[in-house]
Amino acid sequence: MAYENRNAAYDLSLFDDSTDYVSGTAVPERKEEVHKKQERKRRKNNVVSLPKEELQKNRRRKHNKFKLALGTAGGAVAAVVIGIIIVGQVRLTELNQEVITAKETLANAQSVYTQTQMKLESKLSTSDIEKYAEDTLGMTKATNTQKEFVTLSGGDKAEVSATQESDNIFAQFWNSVQNLWS
């Protein structure tokens, strides 16, 4: 017996489904009976008979009203957002076009200004002004006899004007602080 116990781990007959584990004899009848009973129960419970109206009703797709409303609202929000983006892009394009037009107008105005300035400078040269003054207005250049020189004998003087005294004590305090700093 000691020999049998040592080889019990290698006894493959223990893992065979057709043997009884207690006695080690084959028991094919018990297993077949259990399988037959289970098959009968499955066959009996599998068949469900429904009238045609209920079959068609079950086959129809059931719509969840909340999901439909949520999907519709989501689609509307997406359409509004896309519309706002498109309108914004159109407005941005229009404003960019206005900026380009304004820049072109500014460049043209600056060009006209430069041309006018150059024409004015060419007409108002100092030699032309002197010639016009001598010929048309009869003016001459100033000589040393016509010039008068002014001299100051007293130098620079500064006078401080007297301020009116106010009856307010805060104004008098403020004036005294200002006098300290001046």
pTM of the shown model: 0.36
The verdict on residue 91 lying in a domain is yes
In this prediction, residue 1 carries a pLDDT of: 46
Does residue 32 share a domain with residue 81? no
**Are 19 and 25 in contact, with CB atoms under 8 Å apart?**
yes
CA pair distance 76, 169, nearest whole angstrom: 73
CA pair distance 104, 97, nearest whole angstrom: 11
> Which pLDDT tens digits describe the chain residue by residue (182 residues)?
445 555 555 666 555 555 454 555 554 556 677 677 777 666 655 566 777 787 777 777 777 889 999 999 999 999 999 999 999 999 999 999 999 999 999 999 999 999 999 888 877 778 878 888 888 888 888 787 777 777 766 666 667 666 565 567 878 888 888 887 76
The verdict on residue 87 lying in a domain is yes
The verdict on residue 22 lying in a domain is yes
- Give the range of the structural domain holding residue 41, as residue numbers without chain letter: 1-47
Number of compact structural domains in the chain: 2
The verdict on residue 79 lying in a domain is yes
The verdict on residue 103 lying in a domain is yes
The verdict on residue 94 lying in a domain is yes
In this prediction, residue 142 carries a pLDDT of: 79
CA pair distance 100, 105, nearest whole angstrom: 9
Other Cβ atoms less than 10 A from the Cβ of 19: the count is: 15
Does residue 31 share a domain with residue 78? no
Does residue 113 share a domain with residue 67? yes
The verdict on residue 42 lying in a domain is yes
Does residue 66 share a domain with residue 43? no
The verdict on residue 180 lying in a domain is no
Q: Quick one: 66 exposed, middle or buried, by C-beta within 10 A (0-12, 13-18, 19+)?
A: exposed
In this prediction, residue 145 carries a pLDDT of: 78
From 104, 123, 142, give the residue that closes a domain: 123
Q: What is the DSSP string of 40-78?
A: HHHHHHH-----HHHHHHHHSPPPPHHHHHHHHHHHHHH
The CA-atom distances, in angstroms, between 10 and each of 22, 30, 155 are 17, 26, 135
CA pair distance 34, 17, nearest whole angstrom: 14
Q: What secondary structure letter does DSSP report for 12?
A: G
